[in-house]
Amino acid sequence: MRHLAELDHTADVGFVVWAKSLPGLFYWAARGLLAELFEGPLPPGKEVRELRLRAPDPETLLVRFLNELIYLIQTQGQVPGGFSLRLVPRGEECGLAAKLSVLPFEAVADRFLGEVKSATFHGLRIEKEGGFYRASVVLDV
């Protein structure tokens, strides 16, 4: 099935993401972000990095997750070529645990398409329709 479709946003970039499960939605949203940042599929890296995040709701968790990846890539120079993740609810909060296999930015610098400033909350609502989770993600570039 198709998981990503580019959103025709005039000023910034964005995509619509669909998945059968909520963790799947987060996974494909991260893929969508990486597709905006790099040309072509990325090879998995050798170094493993763990990520744990919490947020009051799934939308905030998604924005936080994408922003964490932007920070890792653009500030720390670590590109998550491969990753797996699971959602870990804790009380009323949402949580995410991810394992990233990262490679140095220099290794894929020639495929870099341009800086992303941040993921935004603009029009962001995670909805379930027809058995699929769906969200529109707009990135400020």
Partner 1 sequence: MSVPFEKVGPYTYRIPRHGKMRVDAVFYASDAILRQLAEEDYASLKQLVNVATLPGIVEPALAMPDIHWGYGFPIGGVAAMDAEEGVVSPGGVGFDVNCGVRLLRSKLTREDVEPIKEKLADYLYARIPAGVGSERRDLRLSRKELKDVLREGAPAIVRMGFGYEEDLEHIESGGRLPGADPDRVSPRAYERGAPQIGTLGSGNHFLEVQYVDAIYDPEAAEAFGLFEGQIAVLIHTGSRGLGHQVCEDYVERFLRRLSVYKIELPDRQLAAAPIQSPDGDDYLRAMAAAANFAFANRQLITHFTREAFEAAGFSPRDHGLRVVYDLAHNNAKFEEHKGRGVLVHRKGATRAFGPGHPEIPRAYRKVGQPVLVPGDMGRYSYVLAGTEGAMRETFGSSCHGAGRRLSRAKAKKLARQMDVVGALREKGIVVRAKTRATVWEEIPEAYKDVAEVVEVVHGAGIGKKVARLRPLIVVKG
**Distances in Å between the alpha carbon of 18 and those of 12, 31, 36, 44, 104?**
20, 12, 17, 23, 29
104 binds partner 1 (CB under 8 A): no
- Binding residue for partner 1 (CB under 8 A) from 23, 95, 124, 134? 124
Output the smallest distance, CB 83 to partner 1, in A: 20
136 binds partner 1 (CB under 8 A): no
Of 25, 36, 33, residue with least CA distance to 61: 25
Output the smallest distance, CB 20 to partner 1, in A: 25
13 binds partner 1 (CB under 8 A): yes
Residue 80, strand partner residues? 102
8 binds partner 1 (CB under 8 A): yes
Output the smallest distance, CB 5 to partner 1, in A: 11
Q: Hey, CA dihedral for 106, 110, 114, 118, is it positive or negative?
A: negative
Compute the distance between CA of residue 107 and CA of residue 121 in angstroms, rounded to an integer.
Answer: 31
121 binds partner 1 (CB under 8 A): yes
Q: Are 1 and 18 in contact (CB under 8 A)?
A: yes
Q: Which residues bind partner 1 (CB under 8 A)?
A: 6, 8-13, 39, 56, 59-60, 63-64, 67, 71, 73-75, 77, 105, 109, 112-115, 117-118, 120-124, 138, 140-141
